[in-house]
Amino acid sequence: MTIVGLTGGIGSGKSTVVRMFGDLGIHWVDADDVAREVVEPGTPALKAIAEHFGPDILTGDGALDRAQLRKIVFETPEERAWLEALLHPVIREELVRQLTPDNYTQPYTLLVSPLLFETNQHQLVDRAIVVDVPVEVQIDRTMSRDTNSRDQVERIIAAQMPREERLARADAIIDNNRPIDDVERQVRDLHKRILVDFV
C-alpha cells in the first residue's frame, strides 16, 4: 500500500486540495484530526495530561482545554517537550492504524499533515506532495478563513518550516496560487502521475 504525504503551511490549501483527491475516490487520513482524537475524553493520553498539569487543564465537561494547554506550552519549552514526548508516539501509532485499513481497494492513501516534515510523520510516507502558495497569499487566506490577526498568523508561519525548505523536500508540488479549476486540473494530472510513478 502506497502512502503519499500531503503537506503545506497553514492556509496553503491542504484541505481544499485533499477534497479534490477525495472527488477522485482517494481516501485520506488527516493528522490534525488524529491529534485531536488521541486526547478525547476517556483516552490514556488525556488522563496523563490531566495528571501532569492538574485537573484545571480540563474544561467543565472533562474535555481538554486546548487554549490553556497552548498557552502553557507556548510559554514553557520544557512542558512542550513533555507534551510532545507523550503525544508523538501515540499520534504516530494511531496514524499507522488508520493508514492501514483491513481491506483496501485503493491504489494509494494520502496522509494530510501540516507538520509532515517537522515531525517524524514523513517516515510514514513513500512520497510527499507540497501545496504551495507565496507567504503573503498564505497570510491573506488564513486571516479571512479564521479571523486571526496578522500577528497570530505570522507567528504560526514562523513556527513552521520555511517555504523554500519545504519545496526542496517535495516529490511533487501543487501550485495553489491559481484559480480553483486550474488547481483541479493539477490534481487530476498529479493523480495520474502518482498511479504511474509512485505506486
Q: Are 176 and 17 in contact (CB under 8 A)?
A: yes
Q: Which is nearer to ligand ADP, 12 or 109 (CB)?
A: 12
Residue 146 beta carbon to ligand ADP: minimum distance, rounded to whole angstroms? 9
Q: Which is nearer to ligand ADP, 16 or 43 (CB)?
A: 16
Residue 38 beta carbon to ligand ADP: minimum distance, rounded to whole angstroms? 20
Question: Rounded CA gap, 94 and 37, in Å?
Answer: 9
Q: Which is nearer to ligand ADP, 14 or 92 (CB)?
A: 14
Q: Which is nearer to ligand ADP, 5 or 11 (CB)?
A: 11
Residue 179 beta carbon to ligand ADP: minimum distance, rounded to whole angstroms? 6
Residue 80 beta carbon to ligand ADP: minimum distance, rounded to whole angstroms? 22
DSSP, collapsed to helix, strand or coil, labels residue 6 as strand
Question: Rounded CA gap, 121 and 57, in Å?
Answer: 27
Q: Which residue ranges make up the site for ligand ADP (CB under 6 A)? A: 8, 10-16, 141, 145, 176, 178, 180, 183
Angle at the Cα of 96 (from 92 to 98), degrees rounded to 5? 115
The residues that bridge with 1 in the sheet, in sequence order, are: none
Residue 82 beta carbon to ligand ADP: minimum distance, rounded to whole angstroms? 27
What are the strands of the beta sheet with 28-30, ordered from one edge?
28-30, 108-112, 2-7, 127-132, 172-175
**Residues in Cβ contact with 87 at an 8 Å cutoff, skipping those fewer than 6 apart:** 35, 38, 39, 45
Q: Which is nearer to ligand ADP, 18 or 46 (CB)?
A: 18
